[in-house]
Amino acid sequence: MHLFLLQMARFEWEFIQKSAKQMPANAVVVLPEYAATPFFLELLSLEPEKIDSQSQARLEQLQVLSAKHQIIFSVPLVFLKEQGLVKQIAFISPQDTQFYSQQRLVNFEHWGEASFFANAQPACLKTPPTLEIEGIKIAPLFGYELHFDGLWMALQEVGVEVVLISTASTFESFERWRCVLRSRAFCNSMLVARANRIGMVRKDQNIPWRFYGDSLIALPNGNIASSLEGDMGALHLEVHKAYLQAWAKEWDFRPPN
């Protein structure tokens, strides 16, 4: 299975199209959080209908590209539902599109997603949607949800081997994110692929929010296979089922699929 992480500050359509043309069939492509939509602070001042319209347009573009090149996209978007704006990952394959609604939202004073989005936050966490590519079961997840054990237990139960993480990590969190990504990969014997946003957002002359990139692939043995620095680009790794099975068997944290 060919895995690609696209690191960008915004929806770079020409870059996405050019990258897709060079990918083999069944490639899996992960976009960062708040790249296909404006960042959270910017969403606060936009009309919900405008946010939804932009997300619908991005979704349609990627669905056409997926069908054209026979590739899979995992992309965070924001849609307007009856209850309000809902933050979701569109898991796009040539055959269909599955949607995953974020179940745990950031609730900090400076980053209050929980009071802005209308996502349900159930006590019993639901299993994210999965796809099987070349015998490898994959699932998408939002970056903040990385911290909640219940989701990883759910992924274990359905035999997920590769987790696709979309983030917008910023401030002084570089080392902390690396530690938790490597820990989740090792303790669950899963490959964890994180696509992180780059660029800067400044709101009302406040402290600038700098997104440092460092999109990376953490292996089930706890090592980082490869990573990007802070520029726009694509990270590629060919993932083999046999290696995932061998790592699972070596540590016995989960049964090999």
Instruction: Check the CA dihedral 218-224-226-229 and report its sign.
Output: positive
Token pair 């924001």 is at which residue? Answer: 78
Residue-wise pLDDT for 100-150, tens only, equals: 999 999 999 889 999 999 999 999 999 999 999 999 999 999 999 999 999
**Residue 200, Cβ density class (10 Å: 0-12 exposed, 13-18 middle, ≥19 buried):** exposed
Looking at residue 25, what DSSP letter applies? T
Q: Across residues 65-71, what is the average pLDDT?
A: 98
113-148: b or e for each residue (b if 16 or more CB lie within 10 Å)?
A: beebbebeeeeebeebebbebeebbbbbbbbbbbee
Count of beta carbons in the 10 Å neighbourhood of residue 33: 25
pLDDT level of residue 254 (50, 70, 90 thresholds)? confident
Backbone phi, psi, residue 107, to 5°: -135, 45
Strand 209-212 relative to strand 233-238, pairing: unpaired
How far apart CA 243 and CA 129 sit, in angstroms, is 23
Residue-wise pLDDT for 185-225, tens only, equals: 999 999 999 999 999 998 776 789 999 999 999 999 999 99
Position 57 pLDDT exceeds 90: yes
Token duo for residue 218: 């953490």
pLDDT of residue 37: 98
pLDDT of residue 255: 86
DSSP helix/strand/coil, 105: coil
pLDDT of residue 205: 66
Token pair 């061998």 is at which residue? Answer: 246
